[in-house]
Amino acid sequence: MFLFLTELFEKRVRGVDDHRLLGRPVDLIANAEEVYPAVIGFMVRRGRRPAFYLPWSQITSVEKDEILVRGTPEAPGAAHPPEGSLYARRHILDRQIIDTFGARVVRVNDLHLLRTEDGLRLVHVDIGASGLFRRLGWLPAVNALAHGLFDYQLRDHLIAWKFVQPLGHFGRAGQRQVLRLSVSHQPLALLHPAELAEVLSDLDMHKRQALFGSLTHEVAADALEQMDTESQVDLIEGMGEEHATRVVEEMATDDAADLLGELENEKAETILDGMEVQRSKEVRELLTHEEDTAGGIMTTDFIALKTGYTVDQTIALLRQKAREAENIYYLYVLDDREHLVGVVTLRSLIVASPECLLADLMSTRVISVTTGEHKGAAAELFAKYRFRALPVVDDDRVMKGIITIDDVLEDVAPELNR
Amino acid sequence: MTAARPLPRPLRAARSWLLARWKGLLIFLSVVGPGIITANVDNDAGGITTYSLAGAHFGQTLLWSLVPIAFALVLVQEMTSRLGVVTGQGLADLIRERFGVRMTFYLMLCLVVTNFGNAVANFAGVASAMEIFSVSRYAAVPIAAFFVWWLVVKGTYRTVEKIFLGACVFYLAYIVAGVKVAPHWPSLLREVVRPQGTFSTEYLVMLTALVGTTIAPWMQFYQQASIVEKGVRIEEYRYSRWDVILGSMMVTVVAFFIMVTCAETLFRSGIRIENAKDAALALVPIAGKYNAYLFAFGLLNASLFAASILPLSTAYTVCEGMGWEVGVDRKFAEAPGFYGLYSLIILLAAGAILLPGMPLIKIMFLSQVLNGLVLPFILIFMLVLVNDRELMGEYANGRWANAAGITCVALLILLSLFLVVSSLL
């Protein structure tokens, strides 16, 4: 059987034996570490006295109008809820949460609880109009009106708790703290990085910062890549150096370089110094290119092959490196001095016989741009040839990086970038 | 890098001072906007009417009140912008989280009604200003309404803010008008610093109206929301404070010149007026056609400006409190509640001006009464919030700030209740 938090708050707390009035519930405490948090107690207040903690173990039954309690509760202030508990009113009710199913930020109007044999569990949050009217005390009237006039039934708009990411609360020092959730409850993992970026941009600065700081480096980096530069800079400047360095390290080199180029020099240097040596060298080189040149928008995360590789060797190498590379549909073949000499498509690689040499398979007529060329030239090549990626070489045809279609999307189709 | 010869010490000091100033100026420019815009919108059609009436009927005797009003304005607006910077949340958001949904809901309901009345008053301002330029209201009001609607629905926050900041410049029209009537400056300045009162009821009502038109509920919501939207950081807060002070000073200066113009012309000739349009028309024989045009232009600008911000602020606040999708940077389909409410208010407010037989005076009257009733709640909520150490940490009000804040809020509440009572009698 289900009941709403609002209904629970309307009940009186009474002693089971003498029926003495002990107060009214003002908050509900639950175990935050469960997928559907079990209620472990109430905060109860009588009159203007400070609220006291009433553990679930003392409750004998939840009746229609009353909550019956065994024995006399301890003196107010004697017992406290366990550290890290979830407070329904303080943390969730009336607050913003992320609905990770709908990928948006919403406000909670009510909480939906399930009564089981062993107690109460928090199962849904209510974000709809009926929750609002229930809180205002108008629900019966509105329901009767809607039903009588329009034959319309007002429905609850519930979101399962497993899709709910709470946004924390203010701690003592006025700093926002994110509620620690269990390992099994990671609603944000359901979001695509692009959705996560959008949700983050809907939050105010403090919540954004707090939530972003709680993400793993990989997830944070993926989300960061999808944001506009200004938000990126805000987030990175607002977080500790160590954490910022790890996040930037996880970003694609071109995105990392773009971001570092916008930061204050001092901060950018600290981050670069903290990064892994090879990675930091690549990013530093990217930073030397002008922003609107091919070199300025390319990434160094590409897979380089040698003319002497067989198809078998190449596929084995791909299995190792595909995760880090930005594009594996075009594979670039270099000679001993890193000159770009050919290109192999993934399709031709798969249909070729395993012992075939890349030198025989590759197409030697490679369309490329040089690092100094304007990025518009790259955009034109994308539009003309419908490539997904384009190699970038220096003036001696030494391969430097690749540009993928998303790097020039803004130039090809500016209307997409509202 | 070869070591450059070090500069002589005084030069180095001067350079670092300049660099620090320059950096400060840059930060100031990046946070400027919310305070100045909010304060200037405050000089809307209603405000200009009140200042004109005060000048025309009481001459220079009310000039002194501008100093304490400016002080109160800075005090209140500073609190709201501090709340915004520290919490990163809007005022409606904070009220909802702290005082619950019931309080928020009824507050929002009142706010919609009072802001709607304000919007009507400003579209009426557009109509009367354009009638001075002999343009029919049936052309002026629909065009103005469409312009205002289009600006926000099609624009982004940044472009909208730039246009609004630009509009602030046109308030200079009033300063020009004031200077052109060439008052006797030394005696004027003496009036400004010499509080006086002829405790007649009429005088007191006028004084209360001056305060009431300057500190309004919507401003608190609007300013806090735009501070949040701008993402002002706590380190930049002291620059944001200058934004508030500068804005309040601009309002006061404009109000001063409106009152001076009317005092020097209409009051001297003993002309009674009913509204801002009368003031502009009455200026023609005394101060010349161009001064009247300046007045009309100022009224048009102020009305348009406020007519765009009031519906915007209302929609923003309500959606924030109720938890609906909100934001100028979204598309219509992404935030239907926001744009729906915004469009509805403009449509109804502009429509009310065009339909003959609408009880305009009654709508504005009701809105003024509600304004006075809602303001105490909001000011008290703000005081509670700004004193909440859990929320504000070290930025909570100190003892002196509280003493000043509570005195000021108590006076404002008394005055607004007085206004409510006197308008009901």
CA distance B23 to chain A (A): 13
Mean pLDDT of B353-360: 76
Whether A164 and chain B come into contact, CB under 8 Å, resolves to no
Mean pLDDT of A351-360: 88
Measured between CB atoms, which of B86, B88, B97 is closest to A94?
B97
Mean pLDDT of B311-321: 88
Whether A174 and chain B come into contact, CB under 8 Å, resolves to yes
Which structural domain range is residue B217 located in? 33-424
Mean pLDDT of A163-169: 80
Number of domains chain B is built from? 1
Mean pLDDT of B359-382: 77
Whether A170 and chain B come into contact, CB under 8 Å, resolves to yes
The backbone torsions φ and ψ at residue A307, rounded to the nearest 5 degrees and listed phi first, read -60, -30
Q: How far apart are CA B414 and CA B408, in angstroms?
A: 10
CA distance A392 to chain B (A): 32
pLDDT score recorded for residue B1: 41
Q: Do A136 and B390 touch (CB under 8 A)?
A: no
Residue of A nearest to B226 (CA): A204
Examine the pLDDT at A13 and tell me if it is beyond 80: yes
Examine the pLDDT at B260 and tell me if it is beyond 80: yes
Q: How far apart are CA A339 and CA A368, in angstroms?
A: 12
CA distance A234 to chain B (A): 9
Point out the least confidently predicted range of A370-384, B56-70, B270-284. B270-284
Q: Do A132 and B100 touch (CB under 8 A)?
A: no
CA distance B71 to chain A (A): 28
Of A256, A222, A217, whose CA–CA distance to A239 is shortest? Answer: A217
Examine the pLDDT at A54 and tell me if it is beyond 80: yes
Examine the pLDDT at A118 and tell me if it is beyond 60: yes
Mean pLDDT of A73-98: 79
Residue of B nearest to A94 (CA): B97
Of B360, B362, B349, B363, whose CA–CA distance to B144 is shortest? Answer: B349
Mean pLDDT of B332-336: 74
Q: What angle separates helix B399-424 from helix B201-214, to the nearest 10 degrees? A: 120
Q: How confident is the model at residue A201 (pLDDT cuts 50, 70, 90)?
A: confident
Whether A207 and chain B come into contact, CB under 8 Å, resolves to yes
CATH number, domain at B280? 1.20.1740.10
Amino acid A130 reads S
Point out the least confidently predicted range of A212-216, B177-181, B194-198, B256-260. B194-198
Percent of residues, chain A, with pLDDT higher than 90: 4
Q: Do B105 and A171 touch (CB under 8 A)?
A: no
pLDDT score recorded for residue B3: 46
Q: Do A174 and B390 touch (CB under 8 A)?
A: yes
Q: Which residues does chain B have within 8 Å of residue A127's beta carbon, measured at their own beta carbons?
A: 323
Whether A269 and chain B come into contact, CB under 8 Å, resolves to no
CA distance A231 to chain B (A): 10
Ordered alpha helix ranges (H), B61-136: 66-87, 91-132
Whether A109 and chain B come into contact, CB under 8 Å, resolves to yes
CA distance B323 to chain A (A): 5
How many CB pairs (< 8 A) connect A and B? Answer: 59
Whether A106 and chain B come into contact, CB under 8 Å, resolves to yes
Amino acid B156 reads T
CA distance A108 to chain B (A): 8
pLDDT score recorded for residue A161: 86
Q: Do B101 and A174 touch (CB under 8 A)?
A: no
Which of A70-79, A136-145, B262-271 reaches the highest mean pLDDT?
Answer: A136-145
Of A240, A165, A153, A257, whose CA–CA distance to A203 is shortest? Answer: A165
Residue with tokens 């508030």: B244
Ordered alpha helix ranges (H), B201-236: 201-214, 217-230
pLDDT score recorded for residue B367: 72
Q: How far apart are CA B260 and CA B280, in angstroms?
A: 14
Interface of chain B against chain A, CB under 8 Å?
86-89, 93, 96-97, 100-102, 105, 228, 231, 233, 322-323, 325, 327, 331, 389-395
CATH 3.10.580.10 boundaries in chain A: 304-416
Q: How confident is the model at residue A378 (pLDDT cuts 50, 70, 90)?
A: confident
Q: How many alpha carbons lie under 13 Å from residue B420 in its C-beta half-sphere?
A: 15
Q: How confident is the model at residue A414 (pLDDT cuts 50, 70, 90)?
A: low
Structural domain contains residue B137 = yes
Averaged pLDDT score across all residues of chain A: 84
Examine the pLDDT at B2 and tell me if it is beyond 60: no
Structural domain contains residue B99 = yes
Residue of B nearest to A93 (CA): B97
Q: Which residues does chain A have within 8 Å of residue B100's beta carbon, measured at their own beta carbons?
A: 94, 135
Q: Do B391 and A170 touch (CB under 8 A)?
A: yes
Examine the pLDDT at A280 and tell me if it is beyond 80: yes
Q: How far apart are CA A373 and CA A387, in angstroms?
A: 18
Q: Do A136 and B322 touch (CB under 8 A)?
A: no
Examine the pLDDT at A412 and tell me if it is beyond 70: no
Q: How confident is the model at residue A77 (pLDDT cuts 50, 70, 90)?
A: low
Q: Do A175 and B228 touch (CB under 8 A)?
A: no
Q: Give the C-alpha distances (Å, rounded to integers) separating A300 from A248, A255, A304, B194, B282.
A: 15, 11, 10, 73, 74
Residue of A nearest to B98 (CA): A94
Q: State in words which class domain A191-288 has.
A: mainly alpha
Structural domain contains residue B16 = no
Radius of gyration of chain A measured on its C-alpha atoms: 29
Examine the pLDDT at A357 and tell me if it is beyond 80: yes
Q: Do B323 and A171 touch (CB under 8 A)?
A: no
Q: Do A94 and B96 touch (CB under 8 A)?
A: yes
pLDDT score recorded for residue B95: 92
pLDDT score recorded for residue A184: 61
Q: Which residues does chain A have within 8 Å of residue B395's beta carbon, measured at their own beta carbons?
A: 174
Mean pLDDT of B291-316: 83
Please give the model's pTM, rounded to 2 decimal places: 0.79
Q: Which residues does chain A have within 8 Å of residue B30's beta carbon, measured at their own beta carbons?
A: none
pLDDT score recorded for residue A68: 86
Best of B85, B97, B325 to substitute, by most chain A Cβ atoms within 10 angstroms, is: B97
Q: How far apart are CA B279 and CA B265, in angstroms?
A: 10
Measured between CB atoms, which of B96, B331, B393 is closest to A174?
B393
Residue-wise pLDDT for B397-423, tens only, equals 888 888 888 888 888 888 878 777 877
CB of A301 within 8 A of CB of A251?
A: no
pLDDT score recorded for residue B193: 78
pLDDT score recorded for residue A274: 86
Structural domain contains residue B8 = no
CA distance A143 to chain B (A): 18
Averaged pLDDT score across all residues of chain B: 80
Best of A97, A99, A127, A170 to substitute, by most chain B Cβ atoms within 10 angstroms, is: A170
What single-letter DSSP state applies at residue A263?
Answer: S
Measured between CB atoms, which of A95, A172, A234 is closest to B390?
A172
Structural domain contains residue B302 = yes
Structural domain contains residue B21 = no
CA distance A45 to chain B (A): 17
Residue-wise pLDDT for B106-157, tens only, equals 999 888 988 888 888 888 888 888 888 888 888 888 888 888 888 877 776 6
Q: Do A135 and B102 touch (CB under 8 A)?
A: yes
Structural domain contains residue B112 = yes
Q: Do B323 and A107 touch (CB under 8 A)?
A: yes
- The DSSP code sequence of A207-241 is HHHHHHHHS-HHHHHHHHHTS-HHHHHHHHHTS-H
Q: Which residues does chain A have within 8 Å of residue B394's beta carbon, measured at their own beta carbons?
A: 173-174
- Give strand pairing partners of A357: A310
Q: Do B323 and A205 touch (CB under 8 A)?
A: no
Mean pLDDT of B347-353: 87
Point out the least confidently predicted range of A119-128, A170-179, B229-238. A170-179
Best of A104, A132, A138, A204 to substitute, by most chain B Cβ atoms within 10 angstroms, is: A204
Examine the pLDDT at B240 and tell me if it is beyond 80: yes
Numbers of helices and strands, H then E, in chain A: 17, 22
Q: Do A173 and B393 touch (CB under 8 A)?
A: yes
Measured between CB atoms, which of A106, A132, A206 is closest to B87?
A206
Mean pLDDT of B89-109: 88
Q: How confident is the model at residue A209 (pLDDT cuts 50, 70, 90)?
A: confident
Q: Do A96 and B323 touch (CB under 8 A)?
A: yes
Structural domain contains residue B27 = no
Examine the pLDDT at A172 and tell me if it is beyond 60: no
Residue of A nearest to B392 (CA): A174
More confident position, A177 or B258:
B258
- The DSSP code sequence of A71-126 is SPPPPTTS--PPTTPEEIIIIITTSEEEETTTTEEEE--EEEEEEETTEEEEEEEE
Q: How far apart are CA B161 and CA B173, in angstroms?
A: 21
Examine the pLDDT at B11 and tell me if it is beyond 80: no
Examine the pLDDT at A111 and tell me if it is beyond 60: yes
B62-101 burial, b for 16+ CB within 10 Å, e for fewer?
A: bbbbbeebbebbbbbbbbbbbbbbbbbbbbbbbbbbebeb
Region A304-416: CATH code:
3.10.580.10
Residue-wise pLDDT for A18-48, tens only, equals 888 888 898 899 888 888 888 988 888 888 8
The torsion angle over the Cα atoms of residues B19, B20, B24 and B25, rounded to 10 degrees, is -30
CA distance B304 to chain A (A): 27
